[in-house]
Structure 1
Amino acid sequence: MSKTTSAQASPTTTVLKVRKRDGREVDMDRGRIESAIEKAFRAELNLAEGQPLASQIEQDVLAIIDQVYDFASGDAASGCLSVEQIQDVVEIGLMQREHFRVARRYILYRTEHARLRAVRHVDSGLDELSIDNSSSVPQLRLQIEPGVYVAFSEAKLKAFLESIPESTLPNIETSEIVAEVIRGSFDGMTPEDIARALVLSARSRIERSMDYDRFAAAMQLAIVYRQTLGLTQIDEDFADTYRDRFEHYVIEGIRCGRLSEQLRSFDLSRIADALLPERDKLFRYLGVQTIYDRYLLHVDGRRIETPQYFWMRVAMGLALREDEDQRTDRAIEFYQLLSSFRFTSATPTLFNSGTQHPQLSSCYLTTVQDDLAHIFKSIGDNAMLSKWAGGLGNDWTSVRATGSLIKGTNGTSQGVIPFLKIVNDAAVAVNQGGKRKGAVCAYLEPWHLDFEEFLDLRKNTGDDRRRTHDMHTAAWIPDLFMQRVRENGTWTLFSPDEASDLHDTYGRRFRERYERYEQLAAAGKIKQHRQVSATELWRKLLTRTFETGHPWVTFKDPSNIRSPQDHAGVVHSSNLCTEILLNTSEDETAVCNLGSVNLAAHIVDGRLDHDLLKATITTAMRMLDNVIDINFYPTVEARNANLRHRPVGLGLMGYQDALHRLQIAVASDEAVEFADRSMEAISYYALLASSQLAAERGRYESYNGSKWDRGLLPIDTIELLQQERDTPVDVDRSTTMDWQVVRDAIATHGMRNSNCLAIAPTATISTIIGVTQSIEPTYKLLYAKSNLSGEFTQINEPLVDVLSEHGLWDAQMLDSLKYHDGSLADIQRIPESLKRLFATAMEIEPKWLIEAASRRQKWIDQGQSLNLYLAKPSGKSIDAMYHLAWQRGLKTTYYLRSLAATQVEKSTVDVNRHGIQPRWMKSQSQSGQIRVDRMPTAAASACSIDDPDCEACQ
């Protein structure tokens, strides 16, 4: 290709400028651009200088150069491009024309020369820690690339830290961090080693001041930026480069098989312009570290996503089924919501949205049939569902009990337990596609003959072939059993093959059929049965729940009687985290599609901002509904159920943070009232949004005959439960909003979704955005959190703010908090009003959590992951707690927590100074059937699945 041809092809006579890296501006030289591109092609194609290029390649080279000139001419501000901008345009042009290998070579060329410039001290950032005669550590060398060493510079390290805006925060001592990094340094460290050392040093000081949390976050972001953008936040034109590189990211992600080709259908220029790099500063350190470790897409270990690219990728993935002319606008709308931290989709959606395998759903619920082929099909389905990051809830009540006749072989069955052992091992083997441990929960009704052995599955003693140490278990309890316990009556266990309809009945119908089977058993017409004391069986269940954390206590009748879909099947179980309550059958695997509102972000000027909440929920419900059509379904049964019923589960997080902002103690009538009113608002706007979607997109397929169709809202179904029980369901039924508006909308348009509301644990997504989990009270005010990202000191920021206002936050207070294991209760300096406001989970009576949950449950069409806490558990207190939950009409409960094993490190605490033994050390001996005399055993996380196993529905 001749230079004459190149000159003749010039599209403009305007003299354009190039800004060199040293600041000089020179005339743009078309020949130099052409030469650089040609060299990349020749190097890739192994062509000698002077050897002609193919005609198509010559045309592509000219077209790319034209792109550069068009881009420069369109820059109305200056008509001057930087060298980096020209290289960006060339790189995009090569990828657009599918010269991917040449583009890769061009990228490597740019990277190599950037490193060489670092050696010559041209660029800024960590690579500039090169030769400096003033260095106080000349004996150390920095390895900037394999085999290339330069002297380490303490002065430049300090200069880099001080150029980070967060270094100016009041309590940051950069000299301390530099000194610590140098003490731990070694000859041959890489810039990446230094970056990690900076993060670890800053993070170790978070307990001293929350300023270090923001500083550590900035250090971790610098690592992200260097991998994704090749620069850091201190570089000039950082924000422009952040946006300019977005299209590169999309093309690279598609080329590497990480992103869906469909992302090209968006207006990528508008998408890039909508990015808000400054929102990266909203992340706290643990949030940045969490997304870096598990959520940001990577290629060969190098992250290709910044935090805002991550949010935008999720948003674009959720907008793929929007009308083409609205797709970009919707993606930007979704991005604005996600990046503002007002709403966050669940982990599987964050993992997979916009990728080639968009498995966006959180949990799957299945019913296992009493058939060997179906049992192993179900185990295989578990594997496929788990591979794509789904959490699993399996209903095993249909499977015949131990000793039952196998007609085909004339042998006897070994019952449910051996199959559950296989399920347990399969969940471990298929570890969610290599990202995290698989997670499954098995459900069984207490009339099943194998139920007593089911209670022992999580014990650490006994025949290990009949133990499931890695699987969760839950009891699916009918009202009749609870009534028999209250009456101290007898309870009869059956095998499902002789009492099969018990599995599919509930309420009065269940009672009638169960009592009929008891009569048949008494008459000798049922072979397999056994009578036990209902109270003794209940006591054994609670003892196992206390000892092992399992089984969870869930209630069959309220889950079915209050279900909107009672016309279309039966709810046979909940899910992995006990908040999803959907019908299952042989041909339908229920699917839950989750996301959570950050309630704390909607407290504005001391009140719940309804306008903001409505806007958030309207967009969030659209995003959740889109999941159903975009989703990759690992099994046919999952697809059948999701497309037919279109259920979603909008939940909430940051509840305790919201109470702090309102200055309300969690153990108070005001908190119970706030739980009621906030959930009423969320329910109101969610149901209204689903009805509006129905007006736009149509009703869900099985709508006719549903409770929605019959004019029944969740609050109306409390009366139905009371009628079926023949005993009062003592729940406040007051309302404060004009519900006729919602009723009229549903009557006119119907509903887009069979179910709309479910409160999941949010263990991980709440960490990402830096708020308290779900509806949880504060676990501790200072504690060490463990998950797959490591162990992190967590301190309650609202507490620090309040104590600072009162002049009480100092080193002595930190020391006291450590000694008393994150509790204010025994710290004498603290006023009683603050102790009440910041009471932790173990310091409040569980009745407050149950009362608040009952107020929420009246508005929710599914359930809530409700953890219960007892600092001093006894048989009597545990029994009373679960009976209260049942009486208040709760559908499910989750973990029973005593005290946490994860204690804050106390090696720096002078125990002689405090004079009082911390509560967690005190031996406890309580009356009742369960004796407590032990060290703490439960995990600090409100959801132990995240501590550190998985985040299946988080």
Structure 2
Amino acid sequence: MDTTLTPGKTSVNVTAPQQLRVIKRNGDVVAFDASKIAVAMTKAFIAVEGDNAGASSRIRDFVAQSSDAICEAFLRRMPDGGTLHIEDIQDQVELALMRAGEQKVARAYVLYREEHARARAAAGDDIEKPHPTLNVTLPDGSRRPLDLGRVETLVFEACADLANVDPQKIVDDSLKNLYDGVSIDGVATALTMTARTLVEKDPNYTYVTARLLQDNLRREALSFLGVAEEATFSDMAELYKPAFKAYVAKGIEFEQLDPRLAEFDLERLGDALDHTRDNQFTYLGLQTLYDRYFIHRDDVRYELPQVMFMRVAMGLALNEDDREARAIEFYELLSSFDYMASTPTLFNSGTQRSQLSSCYLTTVPDDLDAIYSAIRDNALLSKWAGGLGNDWTPVRALGSYIKGTNGKSQGVVPFLKVVNDTAVAVNQGGKRKGAVCAYLETWHLDVEEFLELRKNTGDDRRRTHDMNTANWVPDLFMKRVFDDKEWTLFSPSTCPDLHDLYGAAFEKRYQEYEEMTRNGQLKLFKRVRAKDLWRKMLSMLFETGHPWITFKDPCNLRSPQQHAGVVHSSNLCTEITLNTSVDEIAVCNLGSVNLAQHIVDGKLDGKKLKKTVRTAVRMLDNVIDINYYAVPQARNSNFKHRPVGLGIMGFQDALYAQGIAYASDEAVEFADRSMEQVSYHAIEASSDLAAERGRYESFDGSLWSQGILPIDSIEKLKQERGEKYIEVDTSTTQDWDRIRDKIANQGMRNSNVMAIAPTATISNICGVSQSIEPTYQNLYVKSNLSGEFTVVNAYMVNDLKERGLWDEVMVNDLKYYDGSVQPIDRVPEDLKAKYASAFEVEPRWLVEAASRRQKWIDQAQSLNLYIKGVSGKKLDVTYRMAWFRGLKTTYYLRALGATSVEKSTVERGTLNAVGNGSAPSAQPAPSPQASGEPSANREPRGIEDFLQGKGGQRAPSAGDIDDLGCEACQ
């Protein structure tokens, strides 16, 4: 529109878009009038320069150009039209005056706004209408005025009991982003988005954002269930119960829920639902549940958070005598975040297809029919979201004789290519690629080619880009590395018994085979220098992230079940160490205690921890009987041995709550003592379950039956390996003789009880640090399948606030330095130590803490290693130390090259943004920047370059720590 205005003696033409509308302060919506911008600017000039200012051609031209520029800016922002708030327009006027250098005029304009604001406040007419004329569009297409009262109720409820949050700011800023005709969901989205932009200012806004997000969740679920069209947080005190009952009926009708859930006393369970626990979620946690966990029908989520936890609890209590009491007990544990079940259990408990187990381990025999049968088993297990660990050591090596065809074998690699492609093809219902890890012992003749499976170069027919690989390393090989001796590679077709031997028996037989190569009895072998092979293992680990390094002998010598078989591999996430054979597929069921929830008044609450652990072990044991088994070998094995894997998460949060730095003796001591208590209570709980339900079938002959507990089995490892090759702390604080006596009288319900899984996803749900990991960054944006989420270390923010250091400058410094406090001079040294991030913690502290935990665990732990300024020497020392300290397995290597680009070499302005986390990979492999995998513009380094630390990498992004394709252990 063209408008001529003449304030005083001024006359200018202003062009403005007609499709824009303006929300006035009283809520009225009017057409956008560009002339008012020119009037406001001209009045500001007149206030400073007098009445003659309106006649100035300079001012007249400036006003016209500025008005047009502001209108164009709004058009670019909303090309299809929309609604602006009057305050937004005035902000742009103020900004235009400042940019033009008209500081005096801009100040006059600011004072004018403030004066009128005070006048409106005094008159009480800032917002005159509780239901302004801004309309919202309902799902049926009808319109009604925006209910401002309800908006304020939602926001003020969301901010209740949270410090340092401003509900009125959220309301005011959200209204500026609304337009006439916005949908109801659009209003909720505006509130949510406004709150999430403030998370970097104060971490409590993540809870505000989550609580506002729940308005959408409630509307979607409650309307679908026919309970209510919408509800506030306080309304849910009454609505959760009828929603729960309607949900059970609908779920059974849709054939999604187990019909047996209807047999529970739903009145009693509905009364137990605690709507206040919805307020515990962070934004990331709640959005993760909504996107990936809540049961849905026709893309409508009709499961609410507390209903989900009760559904999981009911599914785990199906076989209990007093089902309702146990379901409530299980619900209390889950909904309080004191303990969280693994993802398969959360997905499927209480449903028609209750595949609740996390991990499956198999051994692949050296027979063509059996090989393809094993691949078929992979497909079936993968279909239902299980993470797979395959032992491929028995399969004959390249060049081995094949009697049936009188030919020679192509070795292991071609079959692994088929496994890789099967994992891609069976994509778990379209959710993600199948997740599998292949294990091979270090003496296998194909091991050198196995090491290169993940390389980006070479014959692609002999590469597996979508699966994980791991070395299964005997102690003898590590001794040869330490002593700089030769190592011999064999084919299992000529040395089949090596596969089932470990410790001193393996060493004796291996040396006999070596002697047979010297006297000509064995023709197919290769001799290498042990250190050269070790260097290649480390080089490939750095370059491609694979194969991981895991240790065969401690896994077997400390296994409670060594009387019943051999541990031939670990699982996808390297925390499970169970026997496998042709007849048995090992299965493990996982869950994690949230250590952060058990720090009370600055110390570990042993009484609360005992209660949590006892209930958690019962829940895990129940999984075995309820679980759906895709193949019979898995069912037979699980019922025979009944292994479970109770782990921990929130370790870093627990340290923060105690004021302990990760890189400290105190942290190592806490790792020791906390894991000892978990172990003590878990073993006792399993023994008490044996008294109630009976011992597991293969108990007799186990280490348990001999009175040998995990802490005691260290001695056997020392004897078999040799004292010079191991150093492990064996101090204790609990009354372990009492537990030995109890097991002697009662037995054990479970062959294995503990394993520490990665917990990347379930720790997000609970809002704590994953597993045993140090903090990755103190401020970053995490990007995953659910969107982008600003994550701020709340402990750090609170400490900085206490010292008066939390301000805009600190936020910008943290953004610039990728969440690190180390380069920020004004941060005190004690806080720099406390808030050191993963790459700022020397890897020896990670290994020491892991060693202290390992002595209490009958299985293993998913241990990521973070190494900054990586070099061949540093990797060599770190992984030798891991073996020397008695660790059973290691997991991902997170490495930063020694020549990483310094911040000072880059234009600072381009870096003043929160580091962006990458989306979880669809494959179970680390991102290139996390593992050192060669990028498209960099040639892979050779061993010598690697050992010299040449070449550098971009820093891994914050999202890399949970980029696994498999969520089974998460």
TM value normalised by structure 1: 0.81
Secondary structure at 2:827 match in 1: coil
Pair 1:224 & 2:224 matched: no
Alignment CA distance shift 1:583-1:134 (3 Å): closer
Q: How does 1:606-621 map to 2 (within 5 A)?
A: 606-621=602-617
Aligned to 2:933: none
SS in 1 for 2:723: coil
CA contact (8 A) 2:590 2:645 kept: yes
Please show how residues 888-899 of structure 1 align to structure 2 within 5 Å. Answer: 888-899=885-896
1:256 corresponding residue in structure 2:
254
Partner Cα separation in structure 2 for residue 712 and residue 521 of structure 1: 39
**1:215 alignment partner in structure 2:** 208
Instruction: Provide the C-alpha distance between the structure 2 equivalents of 1:903 and 1:822, rounded to a whole number of angstroms.
Output: 15
**Deviation larger for 457-466 or 926-935:** 926-935
Deviates more, 1:149-158 or 1:673-682: 149-158
Q: 1:405 to 1:304 in 2, by over 3 A?
A: same
What is the one-letter code of the residue matched to 2:699? Y
- What whole-Å deviation, never above 9, does each CA across 1:124-166 have from its counterpart, x for those lacking one? xxxxxxxx9998886xx643235x2426649568545545342
In structure 2, the residue matched to 1:503 is 499
CA pair 496-657 structure 1, distance change in 2 beyond 3 A: same
User: How far off its partner does 1:787 sit?
Assistant: 2.2
Deviation string 1:878-916 (CA, Å, 9 cap, x unpaired) is 000000010011000111112499999x999747999xx
2:333 to 315, 337, 345: 337
Whole-Å separation in 2 of the counterparts to 1:610 and 1:298: 39
Given that residues 671 and 852 in structure 1 are in contact (C-alpha distance below 8 angstroms), is that contact kept between their aligned partners in structure 2?
yes
- Is 1:196 the counterpart of 2:189? The answer is yes
| CA deviation vs aligned residue, 1:173-205 (integer Å, no higher than 9, x gap) | 556656765676677643223323432332232
2:36 counterpart residue number = none
- 2: CA distance between counterparts of 1:178 and 1:831? 37
**Residue 847 of structure 1 contacts residue 881 of structure 1 at CA under 8 Å; is this kept in 2?**
yes
**What CA distance in whole angstroms lies between the structure 1 residues aligned with 2:417 and 2:527?**
27
Tell me the residue number matched to 2:812.
815
In the TM superposition, what is the alpha-carbon distance from 1:233 to its structure 2 partner? 4.7
**Which residue, out of 401, 405, 408, partners 1:409?**
405
1:865-944 superposed matches below 5 A: 865-899=862-896, 910=909, 929-936=947-954, 938=956, 940-941=958-959, 943-944=961-962
State how far apart, in whole Å, the 2-side matches of 1:287 and 1:235 are.
Answer: 18
What CA deviation, in whole Å up to 9, does each residue of 1:498-550 have, x standing for no partner?
Answer: 11111110111111111111111222222321111111111011011111111
Equivalent residues of 2:539, 2:946 under 8 A apart: no
Q: 1:487 aligns with which of 461, 483, 489?
A: 483
Residue pairs, 1:160-559, within 5 angstroms? 161-166=154-159, 169=162, 171-173=164-166, 177=170, 189-230=182-223, 231-234=229-232, 237-323=235-321, 326-559=322-555
Q: Contact 2:629 / 2:635 at 8 angstroms: preserved in 1?
A: yes
1:705 maps to which residue?
Answer: 701
The letter of the residue matching 1:210 is: P
Alignment match, 2:683: 687
The code of the aligned residue for 2:211 comes to A
1:782 corresponds to 2:779: yes
Segments of 5+ residues of structure 2 without an aligned counterpart are 1-127, 224-228, 914-928, 931-937
Can you list the C-alpha shifts for 1:764-802, whole angstroms capped at 9, x where unaligned?
A: 111101111111111111122232212222111111111
In the alignment, is the contact (CA less than 8 A) between 1:763 and 1:942 conserved in 2?
A: no
With the length of structure 2 as denominator, give the TM-score of the two structures.
0.80
Alignment partners' CA distance in 2, 1:411 and 1:181: 74
After superposition, the Cα gap between the structure-2 partners of 1:879 and 1:292, relative to the gap in structure 1 and judged at 3 Å, is: same
Contact preservation (8 Å) 1:819, 1:911: no
Contact 1:876 1:928 in 2 (8 A): no
Residues 333 and 486 from structure 1, CA distance in 2 versus in 1: closer, same or farther, beyond 3 angstroms?
same
The aligned residue for residue 676 of structure 1 is 672
Q: Which amino acid aligns with 1:796?
A: N
Query: Helix, strand or coil: the match of 1:344?
Result: strand
Q: Does the 8 Å CA contact 2:207/2:280 hold for their aligned counterparts?
A: no
Q: For residue 844 of structure 1, what is the aligned residue in structure 2?
A: 841
CA distance, structure 2, for counterparts of residue 545 and residue 480 of structure 1: 21
Alignment deviations for residues 59-111 of structure 1 (CA, whole Å, 9 cap, x no partner):
xxxxxxxxxxxxxxxxxxxxxxxxxxxxxxxxxxxxxxxxxxxxxxxxxxxxx
Equivalent residue letter for 2:139: E
Equivalences, count:
809
* Residue identity matched to 2:856: W
Q: Identify which of 571, 574, 580 aligns with 2:570.
A: 574
Inter-CA distance 648–253: structure 2 relative to 1 (3 Å threshold): same
More divergent stretch after superposition (469-478 vs 182-191): 182-191
Secondary structure class of the residue paired with 1:333: helix
Distance 1:236 1:668 in 2: 45
Deviates more, 1:185-194 or 1:769-778: 185-194
- Compute the displacement of 1:357 (Å): 0.5
Match of 1:829 in 2: 826
Q: CA deviation at 1:171?
A: 4.5
Query: Residues 222 and 233 of structure 1 are in contact (CA less than 8 Å); yes or no, is this contact kept in structure 2?
Result: yes
Compared CA separation, residues 402 and 833, structure 1 to 2 (3 A): same
Separation in 1 of the partners of 2:953 and 2:880?
A: 27
Deviation at 1:432, TM superposition (A): 2.0
For 1:383 and 1:191, the matched residues in 2 are separated by 44
Select 1:736's aligned residue among 733, 737, 742. Answer: 733
**Mapped partners of 2:540, 2:191: distance in 1:** 46
CA distance in 1, matches of 2:946, 2:896: 19
Share of identical aligned residues, percent? 58
Instruction: Assess if the C-alpha contact under 8 Å between 1:945 and 1:951 holds in 2.
Output: no
Which position in structure 1 is the counterpart of 2:122? none
Distance 1:828 1:413, change over 3 A: same
Helix, strand or coil at the partner of 1:370: coil
Q: Which residue of 2 aligns with 1:638?
A: 634
The residue aligned with 1:770 is 767
Q: Cα deviations across residues 292-343 of structure 1 (Å, max 9, x unaligned)?
A: 11111111111111110010000000001112xx111110111111111111
5+ long unaligned stretches in structure 1: 1-131, 915-919
Aligned counterpart for 1:602 among listed residues 571, 587, 598: 598
Q: Secondary structure at the match of 1:794?
A: strand
Instruction: State how far apart, in whole Å, the 2-side matches of 1:322 and 1:149 are.
Output: 50
**Matches of 1:551 and 1:256 in 2, distance apart?**
44
Is the Cα–Cα contact under 8 Å of residues 776 and 942 in structure 1 kept in the other structure? no
1:228 and 1:358 map into 2 onto residues whose CA distance is 23
Q: Deviations over 1:235-273 (max 9, x none)?
A: 764311111221111010100111100112211110001
CA contact (8 A) 1:898 1:936 kept: no
- Contact 1:263/1:316 (<8 A) preserved: yes
Other-structure match for 2:655: 659
Q: 2:750 aligns with which of 753, 760, 768?
A: 753
Cα distance, 1:651 vs structure 2: 0.3
Query: Any conservation in 1 of the 2:549–2:891 contact (CA below 8 Å)?
Result: yes
Report what 2:966 is aligned to.
950
Q: How many angstroms apart in 2 are the aligned matches of 1:133 and 1:848? A: 61
Structure 2: how far apart are the matches of 1:363 and 1:517?
A: 34
Distance 1:168 1:887, change over 3 A: closer
Report the Cα distance in structure 2 between the residues aligned to 1:615 and 1:536, rounded to whole angstroms.
51
Measure the CA separation in 1 of the matches of 2:848 and 2:748.
Answer: 30
Determine whether 1:144 maps to 2:138.
Answer: yes
| C-alpha RMSD over aligned residues | 2.8
What CA distance in whole angstroms lies between the structure 2 residues aligned with 1:283 and 1:686? Answer: 28
> In structure 2, what is the Cα distance between the partners aligned to 1:318 and 1:718?
35
